[in-house]
Amino acid sequence: MTDSISLKEADRVEILTLMDNYTDVLLRNTKVVTRPPLAKGGDIPVDALLAEHGLSLLVSVYHGEEKRSILFDTGYTNIGVPHNLELLDVDLNEIEAIVISHGHMDHTGSLYPILDKMSGPVPVVVHPDAFQSPRYFGLDDGRKLLFPQTLVKTELENRNAEIIESRTPKLLADDMVMVTGQVERVTTFEKGLPNAQMERNGKIEKDLILDDQALAVNLKGNGLVIIAGCSHAGIINTILYAEKMTGVEKVHTVLGGFHLSGPIFEPIIEETIMELKKMAPEVLVPMHCTGWKAIQRFSDEFPSSFVLNSVGSRFTLS
């Protein structure tokens, strides 16, 4: 059994959405989220932030005046995140590490071009199975769709990346950010992606996507901030594991992809809502692969904590 992690409290957390499935320039600010301005200096620009079926978040934690920043995932294409980084005036030199939630292409797409723009060595934290290939998405008619291999060790090494492989939790950002590592799966209703397959030793087997991992921050006086990539291990499993590893039971914010889209996962939306209600997060931001039906239900059931995400949104938690 892994020993519990001593996660240092952060005074403030800021999460900037570099990529998500949705963009809307007309969304309004709230007490926890600031939207990108529609205009600068009175002029509406001809360029715009891009959205795609991917996720990328810039996570900054503060202790006093000290700021530490982590890049969590890098979107789908090699175009979207670099474009948005420029429009959002993000300084890549402030990023001290990159964490990959899992090895799928919609979370790794811009990793190489981002590394090309950074002075190394840049720590890249991954679960060892993130390099697993080939991986497939199985169809009902027996066909297998091949996932592109977007994580290759030699490609990372050529870009002066410092590859940190770990199945167990890791602390980053002066011990204020925990990478969960491999998440324990204890709930009865979160069963992963049933049609995911992989080839190992020449044989096709079920892909449990064990590389799925998330981030956790202990926000001083408020509890855990959980930042998920795709939640292939289940968003409830992810929260429970973060609580177990940190010893912090209070949950303040749950944010990221919950993977509740489509006929396979929509049947567990209500069970997920029921478990989240027990945790009573003050801020709830479903993103990316959560799916429209689930997002609508979260909006209905968590009217005071739900926030609709959009590319360029900056969440400030304190």
State yes or no: pLDDT of 50 exceeds 90.
yes
- Looking at residue 2, its pLDDT comes to 52
Q: What is the pLDDT of residues 18-30, one digit of tens each?
A: 999 999 999 999 9
Q: What is the pLDDT of residues 213-232, one digit of tens each?
A: 999 999 999 999 999 999 99
Residue appearing with tokens 């996570």: 59
Three-point CA angle 215, 221, 225, nearest 5°: 20
Question: And the tokens for 27?
Answer: 């969304």
State yes or no: pLDDT of 39 exceeds 90.
no
Mean pLDDT of the chain: 96
**What is the arithmetic mean of pLDDT over 189-202?**
93
Q: What is the pLDDT of residues 60-116, one digit of tens each?
A: 999 998 999 999 999 999 999 999 999 999 999 999 999 999 999 999 999 999 999
- Looking at residue 187, its pLDDT comes to 98
- Looking at residue 142, its pLDDT comes to 84
Identify the band that residue 148 occupies on the pLDDT scale cut at 50, 70 and 90: very high
State yes or no: pLDDT of 16 exceeds 70.
yes
* CA distances (Å), origin 279, targets 20, 24, 99, 250, 251: 25, 29, 26, 7, 6
- Looking at residue 1, its pLDDT comes to 43
* CA distances (Å), origin 85, targets 60, 80, 191, 245, 313: 15, 9, 35, 33, 13
CATH fold, domain 9-313, is Metallo-beta-lactamase; Chain A (3.60.15)
Q: Are 311 and 25 in contact (CB under 8 A)?
A: no
Sign of CA dihedral 257, 263, 268, 269: positive
- Looking at residue 40, its pLDDT comes to 83
Name the residue type at position 135.
R
Identify the band that residue 140 occupies on the pLDDT scale cut at 50, 70 and 90: confident
26 CB neighbour count, 10 Å cutoff: 7
40 CB neighbour count, 10 Å cutoff: 9
The domain locations on the chain are: 9-313
Identify the band that residue 282 occupies on the pLDDT scale cut at 50, 70 and 90: very high
CA distance 137 to 127: 20
Question: Residue 60 pairs with which residues in a beta bridge?
Answer: 14, 69
